[in-house]
Amino acid sequence: MSENQVNNPKRRAPGSENKKNEMKRLKYSGLAYHNRSNKDIAAKKARSFEVFCKCKYECRKLPYEQKIFLFEDYYKIANHVKQKSYLLGLIQIGSVKRRRKI
């Protein structure tokens, strides 16, 4: 056995890490990419103006231009950890108003 095989039992094909990192970068940027099973994944696009949300948070009152800005700003980051921290910065934590018994 060579010394390389002893130090690195899991050998990878050359360039596999680059492909993997490129796939991640494209995914987190919201661009089209191929997943690991070589399926084509379409690019993310903002929802159309006609889509109405029926949630209790009244996001339908948010102007469409603001939604587009948030969408583009989020996918411009292109780093999963930074995207999570971006979302955590936008979230407001509130107290529990009513506890229910299970």
Q: Is the pLDDT of residue 5 over 80?
A: no
Please spell the DSSP secondary structure of 51-81, one letter per residue. ----STT-GGGS-HHHHHHHHHHHHHH--HH
Q: What is the mean pLDDT of residues 32-41?
A: 89
- The structure tokens listed for 97 are 């108003």
Q: Tokens 């903002």 identify what position?
A: 46
Mean of all residue pLDDT scores within the chain: 82
pLDDT in tens, 37-73: 889 999 988 877 666 677 777 777 888 888 888 888 8
Q: What is the mean pLDDT of residues 8-15?
A: 68
- Using CA atoms, how far residue 10 sits from 6, 14, 17, in Å, is 10, 12, 13
- Give the pLDDT score at 38: 87
Q: Select the more confidently predicted residue: 15 or 87.
A: 87
